[in-house]
Amino acid sequence: MNIDLSGKKALVGASTSGIGKAIAKQLAASGATVTLMSRSLEKLESVKQSLSTENSQQHQLLQVDFTDYAAFKSIITSYFEKNSVDILVNNTQGPPPGTALQKEVEDYQQAFDLLFKTVVLTTELALAAMKEKEWGRVINVASVSVKEPLSYLVLSNSIRAAVVTWAKSLATEAGAFGITVNSILTGYFNTERITSLNAKKAKEQGVSEEEILKQMEASVPVKRIGDPAEYGYLVAFLASDHAAYITGTQIPIDGGSLSSL
C-alpha cells in the first residue's frame, strides 16, 4: 500500500518537536505540502529545512502562541483568509501537570482556551474549503487519558475528553462532505513532554528519572515507549484516501496500555 499525499496541503500544530514534528515529517515524506505551526521561529525554520521536498513542495511556517488565544485567533484567521488546507492536524502543547486538588477554576479556563478553543476555531476555519472540495481530513492529537484518566494530568484529562466528544459530533455532520474526523489517543512516546513529566515524578518520588522510565516501559505490554515516527505513520494513513471510510473514531496508539475496550 502506497501512501501518496501529493497535491495535498497540511497544517500541523505544535510541529517543532516530538509527535507534531514526526507527523509533519511523515506527511511531507508522503508528498504533502506542510505548514508548520508553533511558537519558536528558530525551531520552525529548522524543522522546515528538514522536510522532504522531493515532490517540489513549498512548505510554509506559521508562528503562533497557543497559550495566547486572542493573538492566536487573529493569526489563524488571517492565515485562512489567504490559504486553505486539505489535512488539519490539531495538536498543541499540553497544559501544566497537576491533580484535581491542586488546580483552580482559572487553570481549567486556561486549559480550555489552549486545548479546546484553538482546536474548534482552527477546524471551523479549515472546514469551509474542505466542504467546497468535498474532501478533507481532521485529525486530533488527544490522549489515552480520556478513557483512563491519569491523576497527575487532570487538566489534560478533562479538556481532551471534550475535544474527543466534540470531534465525534462533528464527524456525523462532516461525513456527507467527504470529510473525516478522527482522534488519536496517545500513549507514552519518547518526547520532550514525557521527559519533563518523568523528571517531575522522579523528584516527587525521590528516585532517578531512569527508574521512572523503566517503570513506564514495564507498564506497557510491548515493554517500550513509542517512537514518534510510528505516530507519523498512523496520521499519514488517516490522511490518505485509504482511510476514507474511517471517521468518528478514537484510535489508541499506546503499545496496548489501555485496559479498557
Across the 261 residues of the chain, what is the mean pLDDT of every consecutive 10-residue run? 96 97 98 98 97 94 97 98 98 94 97 98 98 98 96 95 98 98 97 89 92 95 98 98 98 96 83
C-alpha cell at 11: 497544517
Report pLDDT for 103. 97
30 lies in the same domain as 89: yes
Report pLDDT for 200. 87
98 lies in the same domain as 218: no
Q: Write the CA distances from 9 to 30, 85, 141, integer angstroms.
A: 11, 5, 18
Domain total in the chain: 2
pTM, two decimal places: 0.95
Say which of 79, 152, 233, 245 is annotated catalytic. 152
* CATH number, domain with residue 94: 3.40.50.720
125 lies in the same domain as 238: yes
* Domain span holding position 203: 189-225
31 lies in the same domain as 156: yes
Report pLDDT for 55. 84
96 lies in the same domain as 208: no
Q: For the beta carbon of residue 52, count every other beta carbon within 10 angstroms.
A: 16
Strand ranges across the sheet with 60-63: 60-63, 33-38, 9-13, 87-90, 136-143, 179-186, 250-253
90 lies in the same domain as 194: no
97 lies in the same domain as 22: yes
Q: Are 108 and 159 in contact (CB under 8 A)?
A: yes
**Annotated catalytic, 231?**
no
C-alpha cell at 190: 519518547
Please tell me the distance from the alpha carbon of residue 67 to that of residue 58, in angstroms, as a whole number. 28
Report pLDDT for 161. 97
